[in-house]
Amino acid sequence: MTSLTTRRFLQTAGLLIAGLVLSACGKQEPPATTAAAPEASAPAAAPAPARTYVVGTDAAYAPFESENETGTIVGFDIDVVKAAADKAGIEVKFVNTPWEGIFNTLQQGDRDFLVSAITITEERKQSMDFTDPYFDARQLIAVKQNSKVAKFDDLKKLKVGVQTGTTGDEVVSKLQGKNSTNIKRFESTPLALKELEAGGVDAVVADNGVISNYVANNPGAKFKSVTDEAFQPEQYGLAVKKGNTELLNTLNKALAEIKADGTYDRIYTQYFGAPPAKPAAAEAPASAASK
């Protein structure tokens, strides 16, 4: 099982300190990775290798996470986690994980944490723990350019595609009733958008970043997006197994660091053209300002 032993926690903490010292001296080279630290190694000997954390992500959600031509998982979420991992002195390995069942992989210990544009919801908080928010989002509607849809309510009697079990699914289920046969549920958001292109559904509801990205990059699909004030603000968090406070604290500290030193804004600008309008989360008062 992958639960951290106290010793591993101490090793991680030691590495964290070593990493901070190193970065204070200049360039920080991540230590070579080994999946598991040998149980019997004396803590006083050479520093333990950084533990590799297995990170689950449903990599069909550009620009947050997707597979490029070479099969590498890339995106905003990936860069944020990599930058945070650098700060924490931990190694991360991203594993493409279907959205359906992604939360179970935490429960089973197959993934140490998840980054997947996951909206922090009260319901999900019952079964997993979330880091501080790292991104603000909302739902957005995609329709064909010639569509008459002007607001969310117009979707009441129409065929709407969603990704199963997402917050998009939730809002449409609320509008039409959970068992409405006009809700077409897909295992990925790109599949829902393909169906819109093919005319099988009248609209798709999903996170704004993903809809905007798709509309912009697929002019041939002749889509437009429709906003609605009725959509509640959402925030993304990294998810860990419920009770894994060690990892949660490590990730929160690292997220705060990349927000404080401008790394987060740099990544955000790279993907969205401009820095975020306001901090994604209530910022802690300049905690670790010392360099």
First-to-last CA distance in the chain? 37
Residue 135: in which H helix or E strand, if any?
Answer: strand 135-137
Stretch that binds ligand ARG, among 127-135, 146-154, 163-171, 246-254 (CB under 6 A): 163-171
Spatial distance between the Cα atoms of 93 and 140, rounded to a whole number of angstroms: 31
207: contact with ligand ARG by CB under 6 A: yes
Among 49, 54, 58, 251, indicate the residue that binds ligand ARG (CB under 6 A).
58
Judged by beta carbon, residue 116 or residue 176, the one nearer ligand ARG is: 116
What number of other Cβ atoms are within 10 A of residue 16's Cβ?
18
Matching residue, tokens 């739902």: 139
Token pair of 52, please? 């590799």
Number of residues that bind ligand ARG (CB under 6 A): 13
Which residue do the tokens 């591993």 mark? 8
CB of 34 to ligand ARG, least distance (A): 29
Of the pair 16, 106, the CB lying nearest ligand ARG is at 106
Measure the CA–CA gap between 250 and 222, rounded to whole angstroms: 44
Q: Is 131 in the site for ligand ARG (CB under 6 A)?
A: no
Q: Which of 223, 236 has the CB closer to ligand ARG? A: 236
Would you say 59 and 67 are in contact if contact means Cβ atoms under 8 Å apart? yes
Which of 97, 116, 213, 250 contacts ligand ARG by CB under 6 A? 116
Span interacting with ligand ARG, options 44-52, 115-123, 144-152, 278-286, rule CB under 6 A = 115-123
Ordered alpha helix ranges (H), 165-291:
167-176, 189-198, 208-217, 245-260, 263-272
Query: Which listed residue (167, 176, 213, 244) binds ligand ARG by CB under 6 A?
Result: 167
- Residue numbers at the binding site for ligand ARG (CB under 6 A): 58, 61, 65, 99, 116-119, 163, 166-167, 189, 207
